[in-house]
């Protein structure tokens, strides 16, 4: 039997998409298809990346395209397509435009890669994952949103900095929506196995939480013309790797809840087990009053977004 490499399609060849292709190829997760409506950009970046393979010694093939037929047989599809957030723009301003783009993308995936597992990165994340799930009609195991891994990465990097330790020794996670409605879980964070609350005072932890919560806006403010892409792309690819290599990783992701935390038919950031079948299990964490209030607030924000979106014509 001929062994077949895994196949990862990345939709959108902007900064996030092309960086996803870069991380996925460098980790040799499989062959990579970079798709964009701007075919030249997709082909140019794919060729440039492929030409780096002899230097970096990776055997992933990378092709660029504007044709969804090239995504056929994809194991994973990472969707980064959409307009990025500009300074002063709320995530909700993106709603109408990105919902239209998401619908078109998902029709292409449904027709050409119907067995794929889809990771949504486009903003506003929880609402875009909702559109993707509706259009694709895939079971919830195969449509997951990337937000929690990124928020957790920001949180963890600031904890490592404050404690002056290796990032490898920080274990943390966050729940809830992306950005403003993120629910930090310092009670469950540890450094080298020692609870974070024993190493840092609450004022320092609060500062770190605020910085993680506004991490995306901080970068938008500094760049002036663009938004973050290294960490978002790395986060999406960590999820893809957990699935492609059946790692059974416990990672915070936006999952389509079916009764967990008392929520139904909504994408909410929760801890998930990611393995070969996609989102294999939602792990419910016992929450204290503050955490529960934070998660409820986050859920309400997602409900409002989805309600606003359902009024739009796209």
- Residue 23 pairs in a beta bridge with none
Among the listed residues 84, 107, 105, 90, the one whose alpha carbon sits nearest the alpha carbon of residue 16:
84
CA distances from 161 to 47, 83, 184, 188, 221 (A): 37, 32, 17, 18, 21
Straight-line distance from the first to the last Cα atom of the chain, in angstroms, rounded to the nearest whole number: 45
Among the listed residues 274, 203, 194, the one whose alpha carbon sits nearest the alpha carbon of residue 239:
274
Angle between helices 15-26 and 230-244 (to 10 degrees): 40
**In this structure, are residues 61 and 28 in contact, taking their beta carbons and an 8 Å threshold?**
no
Among the listed residues 166, 172, 161, the one whose alpha carbon sits nearest the alpha carbon of residue 285:
172
Q: What CA–CA distance (Å, rounded) separates 127 from 144?
A: 12
48, two tokens: 């440039």
Among the listed residues 264, 246, 272, 267, the one whose alpha carbon sits nearest the alpha carbon of residue 256:
267
User: In a 3-state reduction of DSSP, which class is residue 252?
Assistant: strand
Length reported for the chain = 314
Which residues are marked as active site?
A: 178
Please list, in sequence order, all residues whose beta carbon lies within 8 angstroms of the beta carbon of residue 194, skipping any fewer than 6 positions away.
none
109, two tokens: 């995936």
CB neighbours of residue 146 within 10 Å: 31
Q: What CA–CA distance (Å, rounded) separates 235 from 187?
A: 23
């Amino acid at each position: 039997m001929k062994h077949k490499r895994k196949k990862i399609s990345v939709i959108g060849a902007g900064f996030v998409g092309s960086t996803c292709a870069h991380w996925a190829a460098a980790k040799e997760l499989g062959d990579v298809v970079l798709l964009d409506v701007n075919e030249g950009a997709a082909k140019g970046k794919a060729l440039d990346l492929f030409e780096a393979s002899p230097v970096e010694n990776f055997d992933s093939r990378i092709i660029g395209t504007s044709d969804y037929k090239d995504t056929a047989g994809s194991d994973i599809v990472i969707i980064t397509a959409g307009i990025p957030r500009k300074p002063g723009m709320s995530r909700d301003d993106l709603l109408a435009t990105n919902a239209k783009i998401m619908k078109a993308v998902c029709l292409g995936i449904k027709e050409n890669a119907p067995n794929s597992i889809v990771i949504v990165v486009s903003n506003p994340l929880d609402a875009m994952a909702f559109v993707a799930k509706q259009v694709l009609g895939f079971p919830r195991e195969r449509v997951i949103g990337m937000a929690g891994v990124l928020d957790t990465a920001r949180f963890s990097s600031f904890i490592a900095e404050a404690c002056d330790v290796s990032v490898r020794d920080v274990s943390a996670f966050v729940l809830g929506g992306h950005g403003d409605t993120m629910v930090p879980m310092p009670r469950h964070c540890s450094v080298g196995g020692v609870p974070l609350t024993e190493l840092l005072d609450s004022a320092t932890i609060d500062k770190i939480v605020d910085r993680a919560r506004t991490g995306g806006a901080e970068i938008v403010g500094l760049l002036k013309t663009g938004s973050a892409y290294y960490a978002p792309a790395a986060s999406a690819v960590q999820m893809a790797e957990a699935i492609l290599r059946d790692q059974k990783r416990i990672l915070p992701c936006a999952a389509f809840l079916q009764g967990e935390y008392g929520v139904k038919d909504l994408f909410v950031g929760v801890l998930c087990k990611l393995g070969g079948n996609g989102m294999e299990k939602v792990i419910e964490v016992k929450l204290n009053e503050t955490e529960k209030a934070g998660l409820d607030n986050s859920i309400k924000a997602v409900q409002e977004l989805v309600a606003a979106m359902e009024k739009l014509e796209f």
